[in-house]
Amino acid sequence: MPGCQRYERPKILTTTAVIFWILNIVLDTTGHLAFKSVATVGHTTELERWKKMLALPTMWLGIVCFVFEFVAWLALLSLIPLSLALIIGTMNIVAVMLAGKLLFAEQLDGMRIVGMSFIVIGVALAGGCA
Amino acid sequence: MKSRRFYILGFAALALFDTITQISFKFATLHAGEFSLQLSWLRHVLLSLPIYGAMLGYLGSFITWMTLLKHAPIGPAFAASHLEIITVLLISFVVFGERLNSAQLLGAASIVLGVICLSMSKAKHPDE
């Protein structure tokens, strides 16, 4: 990208860092989708709802995803500055919204599309110029 | 209808807890060093004191989030939960001496704008 002065310093976003970033997005999105799909289970009481949810394999898929996301996030933070990690980490918001649209037919109104675009542009600027 | 002060305090608490979590995470990884595919790395992280600060931060923001959502509209709550970007950025500059170049700062501003847009969306929010 022009104007980034990327030749003047060592590359921060190494292949390993990018892998952990993508892993973080995949785990976060899968976890949220798993929780969303079990959260709507039919129930009469709150206790029954939790019993039903905990009996579903999808619930455990979600829990496992978030445990591994915790490790992937720590790994990413050990490789790149916190400020950069936090900025490119906002890609999770976009991924979860797109997945919600695809799998649960959730609405994406104009305002939401504009917001998502701003986030993608921001991530591209910060990540591309790292 | 809760008072204005309730929301301001609630959103501030949310941002505070999220900030504590992220700063603690970074401290924990500084303690353990660069990632390596070994259990000893994970053990170093899990045995460091800051990681428990991160977990306390998680707990605090979870409780605050649940309390806020009983009364607050989801849009502003969503925005507040992500605007910790600003506070964490400021603290990482001061505490960890991190620097972003002008293109990255522009990127951060674009993301903040994006989060504000998302919070103003009238479509049904996924969390509702």
Domain membership of residue B26 (yes or no) is yes
Total domains, chain B: 1
Would you say residue A110 lies in a domain? yes
Mean pLDDT estimate for chain B: 86
User: Does residue A7 lie in a domain region?
Assistant: no
Within chain A, where are the H helices?
A: 15-39, 46-54, 57-79, 82-89, 91-104, 110-128
Answer whether residue B72 is part of any domain: yes
Which of B18, B43, B104 to substitute to test the interface with A, most A CBs within 10 Å? B104
B11 occurs within a structural domain: yes
> For residue B126, is it within any domain?
no
Name the residue range of residue B99's domain. Answer: 4-120
Total domains, chain A: 1
- DSSP sequence for B83-118: THHHHHHHHHHHHS-----HHHHHHHHHHHHHHHHH
- C-alpha separations of A115 from A29, B26, B93 in Å: 18, 28, 26
Q: Would you give per-residue pLDDT tens digits along chain A (130 residues)?
A: 555 655 555 678 899 999 999 999 999 999 999 998 888 888 888 889 889 999 999 999 999 999 999 999 999 999 999 999 999 999 999 999 999 899 888 888 899 999 999 999 999 999 988 7
Instruction: Choose the closest CB to A77 out of B26, B89, B124.
Output: B26
Does any domain span residue A10? no
Nearest to A61 by CA among A18, A26, A11: A26
In a domain, B128, yes or no: no
Around Cβ A81, how many Cβ atoms within 10 Å? Answer: 20
Residue B80 — very low, low, confident or very high, per pLDDT cuts 50/70/90?
A: confident
Question: Mutual orientation of helices A15-39 and A82-89 as an angle, nearest 10°?
Answer: 50
Tell which of B69, B85, B110 to mutate to test the A interface (max A CBs under 10 Å).
Answer: B110
- pLDDT one-digit tens code per residue, B61-77: 988 988 887 777 777 77
The range of the structural domain enclosing residue A34 comes to: 15-128
Residue B125 located in a structural domain: no
Task: Return the pLDDT at B39.
Answer: 86
A2 lies in a domain?
no
Q: Is residue A88 in some structural domain? A: yes
CA-nearest residue of chain B to A6? B101
The pair of structure tokens assigned to A42 is: 């039919």
